[in-house]
Amino acid sequence: MSHQHVKVGPKRIIYCLLGIAIMVYCGYIVEILVMHIWHKAPHAEHGEAGLSKEDKLYQDMIAGVSQDGGHGAPVVDINSSHKLYDFHETKRTAIEDTQNLCVSCHGDVPHDKKKEVRAFLNMHAYFMACETCHIKVENTMTTKFVWYEKTTGEQKDKIDLSTYLKDTPYKLLPLAADGGKLYDNDQMVKYVDEFKSQVNNMAPSAKSAAMKVIHRPMTELKNAVNCENCHTPDRAKAYLPFEKIGYPERRANQLVGNEVVGMVNKYKEFYIPNFLKPAEGTESEN
């Protein structure tokens, strides 16, 4: 007796597939309804694996941190604002700089030591490359300043500066007069990449020597560009050539106006004598 070949119609296929899907879903529902009663730990969705970055931070905060657990952490995600301090719920996503070589080690929130001014310095670091202040050039009028896009690196001579730099995707970067890079040239990029890949296996002396090479182009901290170099009542003497980098007259005047300059002076009086001169060895070396 030979077997008869049975033909399967499209209707039957659909019914069967639908039936299988329903069965699997039933199994899933029963698993949720019945099996969860046996958990010892919190549900998976409340465990660490299912936590959002914000929730994880919150739980860490509640749990407390070790003395050396966080302070001075070299790289802090600028979008990881802590929930406990997020009463105002800014809801903004900061644009992270993926182009700058300094940021690749120091992060988008690089200033962490000088308590009095670190927030202000970080605020400036949001729209100014580290090189702008940490490589002080002799004559800014012969230096070329460009605005680079933080995610693509695309350079522009001018951007819209008619209003303040809120969520700007651009950062100000000084270049040599011929457009050459002052810091992150190919050679330095290669050197830093090698350093980062080997740093965990390096002897302290070798690490220290490499760090010196990496930071050699930087101006000594006590001579770096400080607030009053730019926010000076005498606009002609300002370190940054505001007009040249695209600031309209009105905005440039605001930056050197009484409000801003007055505040800088207040800081100066309050933290006399060295508030803008980071003490030797206190800045992060990371």
Partner 1 sequence: MRIYCFIAVMVFSLFVTCASAQAAVTDGENCMMCHKYPGLTRVNDEGYLRVFYVDSENYAHTVHTKVKCTGCHVDIKEIPHKEMKPVDCSTECHINNAGSEKPFSHKKIVETLKKSIHNPDNPDVRARIVEDFPSCTNCHKNPTYRFDPGDVESVDEARHKERVLQKCAVCHDNNIDYKYFFNHVTHRIKNLAPSEDVVKTCSKCHSREEMATKHKMKNAAATYLDTFHGKAVEFGMPHAPTCIDCHVKKGDSAHNIQSWRNPKSATYEPNRYKTCEDADCHANASQQFGMIRMHSVIDKDIYPIEFYVALGFTILTIGAFYPLLGLMILELIRELFPNFSLRRKKKD
Distance, in Å, from the CA atom of 76 to the CA atom of 187, rounded to the nearest integer, reads 27
In whole angstroms, how close is the CB of 200 to partner 1 at the nearest point? 21
Distance, in Å, from the CA atom of 54 to the CA atom of 83, rounded to the nearest integer, reads 6
Binding positions for partner 1, 129-188, rule CB under 8 A: 164-167
17 binds partner 1 (CB under 8 A): yes
| Choice between 54 and 210, CB closer to partner 1 | 54
91 binds partner 1 (CB under 8 A): yes
| Choice between 15 and 193, CB closer to partner 1 | 15
| Choice between 61 and 206, CB closer to partner 1 | 61
Distance, in Å, from the CA atom of 126 to the CA atom of 78, rounded to the nearest integer, reads 10
Binding positions for partner 1, 191-230, rule CB under 8 A: none
Binding positions for partner 1, 61-90, rule CB under 8 A: 61-63, 65, 69-73, 76-78, 80-82, 84-90
Q: Within a 13 Å sphere around the CA of 279, how many CA atoms are in the beta-carbon half? A: 8
Q: Which of 43, 196, 215, 222 binds partner 1 (CB under 8 A)?
A: 43
Binding positions for partner 1, 234-263, rule CB under 8 A: 259-260, 263
Residues paired with residue 155 on neighbouring β-strands, in sequence order: 148
> Considering only 9-17, 154-162, 220-228, 236-244, which stretch makes contact with partner 1 by CB under 8 A?
9-17
| Choice between 124 and 235, CB closer to partner 1 | 124
Distance, in Å, from the CA atom of 95 to the CA atom of 148, rounded to the nearest integer, reads 13
In whole angstroms, how close is the CB of 72 to partner 1 at the nearest point? 8
Distance, in Å, from the CA atom of 84 to the CA atom of 54, rounded to the nearest integer, reads 10
Three-class secondary structure of residue 173 per DSSP:
strand
Could you give the C-alpha distances from 282 to 113, 118, 131, 264, 277, in angstroms and in order?
7, 12, 19, 22, 10
| Choice between 58 and 195, CB closer to partner 1 | 58
| Choice between 208 and 253, CB closer to partner 1 | 253
Q: Could you tell me the two tokens for 88? A: 């105002």
109 binds partner 1 (CB under 8 A): yes
DSSP state, residue 235 = G
Q: Which of 48, 50, 53, 59 binds partner 1 (CB under 8 A)?
A: 59
| Choice between 137 and 230, CB closer to partner 1 | 230
The torsion angle over the Cα atoms of residues 266, 268, 272 and 278, rounded to 10 degrees, is 140
Burial letters 204-241, b for 16+ CB under 10 A, else e: eeebeebeeebeeebeeeeebbbbbbbbbeebeebbbb
In whole angstroms, how close is the CB of 27 to partner 1 at the nearest point? 5
Q: Which of 191, 195, 239, 271 binds partner 1 (CB under 8 A)?
A: 271
Q: Could you tell me the two tokens for 181? A: 């890079």
Residues in the chain: 286
| Choice between 137 and 252, CB closer to partner 1 | 252
Binding positions for partner 1, 22-41, rule CB under 8 A: 23-24, 26-27, 30, 32-39, 41
111 binds partner 1 (CB under 8 A): yes
In whole angstroms, how close is the CB of 32 to partner 1 at the nearest point? 7
